[in-house]
Chain A
Amino acid sequence: MTALTSPRSAGLSGPWGRLSIATKQIVWAWTFLALPVLFFAAVRFYPTLEGFYLSLTDWDLLNEARFIGLDNYRKLFADPVFWQVFANTFAYLVFGTPIAIVLSFAIAYYLDRVTVLHGLIRALYFLPYLTTAAAMAWVWRWFYQPPPIGVINSILGSLGIPAQPFLRSVDQALPAIMLTAIWAHLGFQIIIFMAGLRAIPTSYYEAARIDGLGEGAILRRITIPLLKPTTVFLVVFSSIGFLRIFDQVYNMTSNDPGGPLNSTKPLVLMIYQTAFSSYQMGYAAAQTVVLFVILFSISMAQLWILRNR
């Protein structure tokens, strides 16, 4: 705080008074920016460079980091667990994103026309977004338990459907966790789609109706094309979310994180375990660089798609 008043408190009011307005602006601007710019340099930029450097070292936290070139990357790409994790991460993305986008668009599209209890219905969909993944993971975990404990299996049982293993199954655990992640973020995506729908001028719809277009044609030829920026934003946002999935997986499989048999383990959980369970910091840093490259490519693709609009 003292920095903000320094021009005066330092007794410079005489010379300060003679500075031109433009110079004063520069002094004020850098006074305001000094601390935050220092912060960004120390907490974002320097650690980014350090992350790249550490990925080229062998480092266990106890001994000095030793430079080993690209060995971590060679080791990573030769590791079958990495490719399993890579496939899992993309499974969350490839199935999760389209389901989340289509579902949230359909709900937003119809919710936009609902006038009765609109606020209440919107709140019902939105509330899960405000919860802590760590808490909700345990609620869902309970739902997926075998009978007689699990809620879903109890319901299936009363319908005469055999009990499902869910989180205990190599095939069902990943979709079961993915469903939780979709559930948690659906409300956010619905709100964003509704904002996009509201931004389309009513006159477009009126003109289309006068031209005799039906609801389906209006949806295909006006609503969906005009929503493209919103959709691209949500696809990228949701993709990044699924590529970085951690909280749900960690909490829903905490007795065997990423299990059973690594079938649910995403890249971020692998990074966490490599760094903070086995203390292979350099190897973990190489994994974070791989994650960075994937996320960076997706962000660039977004910019490219929006530019070619």
Chain B
Amino acid sequence: MSAQTQPLSAYGSVRPGRIVAWTVLFLGGVVMITPLLFMFSTSLKSAGHVYDLRLIPDQPTLANYVKVLSDGRFMRWFANSTIIATVVTLSCLFFDSLVAYTLAKFTFPGRRLVFLAILSTLMIPTEMLVIPWYLMASKLGWIDSYLGIMFPGLVTAFGVFLMRQFFETVPNDFLEAARVDGLNEFAIWWKVALPLVTPALSALAIFTFLGNWTAFFWPLIVTTDPSLYTLPVGLSSFAVEQSIQWELIMTGAALATLPTLAIFLFFQRYIVRGVMLAGVKG
């Protein structure tokens, strides 16, 4: 914080260089969101007005949204993505933090080995695992099922690593006091330790949810039935079939983007802090 405000107070006045920097940064930022602006603007235009490149539509219409949503498939893909991202996030919050807590706060033979083994999986790229996963999913009948899409992400090494850093800062005295009060170990984790690391939990929740919401590679591989597509995979196939109707593609893209933008608006502080935490710790 002080690194940022200090120069201003030191010089006491706003210098021309600062105004130039601000203007350039602001214009750069506007350029950055131009694709998003065009996407939303086009989704509100009727087919005849798509190539009119003014950002504020002449006669804005929600007809594209009505058309895309009444198709039914989008609702289904939306529901699929929501259910999958939510369940995977809850599973990661539970298991990642339980494992992280155990590795941070218990002494038992094999602790270091378990931690290193989990950490080492970060080195293995998903691409190497997808063929064996596909084989596993087809043997177990998980192709074209929620479980098939979800199973690889139910516990993550990244989450274990992130949460462990935070559980190490929880004072042992708190846990001892709870032990003296007769709580069992599960209750100590759930009622005493977890509430103390809620900032880390919210960062992990947001990362996991966004990561699963936007995931493309594995859902593309493990689904063939369009009714089980996630939103990105569904959108991709929808866009191919609509390839001339850009207003409908932009509407679909807008529908896939709106939830993440809404999450950002609600949790802006946590997201930025979460990225900073993960970047510095990871």
Binding site for B on A (CB under 8 A): 4-5, 22, 25-26, 28-30, 32-33, 35-37, 39-40, 43-48, 50-51, 54, 107, 110-128, 130-136, 138-140, 142-143, 148-149, 151, 154, 183, 186-188, 191-192, 194-200, 202, 205-206, 209, 230, 233, 244, 246-247, 250-251, 254-255, 268, 271-272, 275-276, 281, 284-285, 288-289, 291-292, 295-296, 299
With beta carbons under 8 angstroms apart, the residue of B10, B236, B252, B275 that contacts A192 is: B275
- Which bracket fits the contact residues of B? 35 or more
1/0 contact trace for B242-270 toward A, CB 8 Å? 01001001101110110011011000100
Q: Which secondary structure dominates where chain B touches chain A?
A: helix
Q: Which residues of B contact A281 (CB under 8 A)?
A: 131, 135
Q: Which residues of B contact A299 (CB under 8 A)?
A: 123
Q: Which residues of B contact A45 (CB under 8 A)?
A: 117, 121
User: Is A136 a contact of B275 with CB atoms below 8 Å?
Assistant: no
Q: How many Å lie between the Cα of A292 and that of B186 in the bound state?
A: 38
Q: How many Å lie between the Cα of A185 and that of B243 in the bound state?
A: 26
Taking the nearest CB of chain A, how far is it from the CB of B45, in angstroms? 13
* Given A138-B249, A154-B53, residue A183 in contact with residue B32 (CB < 8 A): yes
Q: Which residues of B contact A246 (CB under 8 A)?
A: 216-217
User: Is B25 a contact of A30 with CB atoms below 8 Å?
Assistant: no
CB closest chain-A residue, reference B51 = A148
User: Is B51 a contact of A29 with CB atoms below 8 Å?
Assistant: no
User: Is A36 a contact of B99 with CB atoms below 8 Å?
Assistant: yes
Q: How many Å lie between the Cα of A146 and that of B217 in the bound state?
A: 29
Q: Which residues of A contact B107 (CB under 8 A)?
A: 22, 25
User: Is B240 a contact of A255 with CB atoms below 8 Å?
Assistant: yes
> How many A-B contacts if CB must be within 8 Å?
278
Taking the nearest CB of chain A, how far is it from the CB of B58, in angstroms? 17
- Contacts beyond the supplied A118-B4, A131-B36: 20 A-B pairs with Cβ under 8 Å: A25-B107, A32-B102, A40-B117, A44-B121, A54-B131, A115-B5, A123-B264, A126-B264, A128-B32, A132-B216, A132-B231, A133-B216, A136-B253, A154-B53, A192-B276, A230-B280, A268-B127, A272-B220, A285-B128, A292-B127
Q: Which secondary structure dominates where chain A touches chain B?
A: helix
User: Is B151 a contact of A43 with CB atoms below 8 Å?
Assistant: yes
B70 at the interface (CB under 8 A from A): no
Q: How many Å lie between the Cα of A123 and that of B133 in the bound state?
A: 37
Taking the nearest CB of chain B, how far is it from the CB of A50, in angstroms? 4
Q: How many Å lie between the Cα of A136 and that of B253 in the bound state?
A: 7
Q: How many Å lie between the Cα of A35 and that of B154 in the bound state?
A: 11
* Given A25-B108, A32-B102, A51-B132, residue A199 in contact with residue B127 (CB < 8 A): no
B195 at the interface (CB under 8 A from A): no
User: Is A47 a contact of B240 with CB atoms below 8 Å?
Assistant: no
Docked complex: B2-45 residues within 8 A CB-CB of A:
2-8, 10, 18, 21-22, 24-26, 28-30, 32-33, 35-36, 38-39, 42
User: Is B4 a contact of A112 with CB atoms below 8 Å?
Assistant: yes
* Given A40-B155, A44-B121, A139-B250, residue A244 in contact with residue B127 (CB < 8 A): yes
* Given A25-B106, A139-B39, A295-B125, residue A121 in contact with residue B29 (CB < 8 A): yes
* Given A48-B128, A134-B233, A136-B253, residue A125 in contact with residue B38 (CB < 8 A): no
User: Is B131 a contact of A202 with CB atoms below 8 Å?
Assistant: no
Q: How many Å lie between the Cα of A72 and that of B195 in the bound state?
A: 52
Q: Which residues of B contact A138 (CB under 8 A)?
A: 235, 239, 249-250, 253
B185 at the interface (CB under 8 A from A): yes
User: Is B272 a contact of A107 with CB atoms below 8 Å?
Assistant: no
CB closest chain-B residue, reference A147 = B51
User: Is A111 a contact of B25 with CB atoms below 8 Å?
Assistant: yes
Q: How many Å lie between the Cα of A195 and that of B130 in the bound state?
A: 34
User: Is B124 a contact of A44 with CB atoms below 8 Å?
Assistant: yes
With beta carbons under 8 angstroms apart, the residue of B30, B216, B275 that contacts A124 is: B30
User: Is B95 a contact of A36 with CB atoms below 8 Å?
Assistant: yes
B111 at the interface (CB under 8 A from A): yes
Q: Which residues of A contact B129 (CB under 8 A)?
A: 43-44, 47-48, 51
User: Is B235 a contact of A134 with CB atoms below 8 Å?
Assistant: yes
Q: How many Å lie between the Cα of A4 and that of B239 in the bound state?
A: 47
User: Is A132 a contact of B26 with CB atoms below 8 Å?
Assistant: no
Q: How many Å lie between the Cα of A148 and that of B53 in the bound state?
A: 10
Which residue, of A116, A138, A149, A247, has the highest number of chain B Cβ atoms within 10 A?
A138
Q: How many Å lie between the Cα of A111 and that of B5 in the bound state?
A: 12
Q: Which residues of B contact A255 (CB under 8 A)?
A: 240, 243
Q: Which residues of A contact B38 (CB under 8 A)?
A: 139, 142-143, 151
Q: How many Å lie between the Cα of A44 and that of B220 in the bound state?
A: 20
Taking the nearest CB of chain A, how far is it from the CB of B243, in angstroms? 8
User: Is A124 a contact of B155 with CB atoms below 8 Å?
Assistant: no
Q: How many Å lie between the Cα of A291 and that of B106 in the bound state?
A: 37
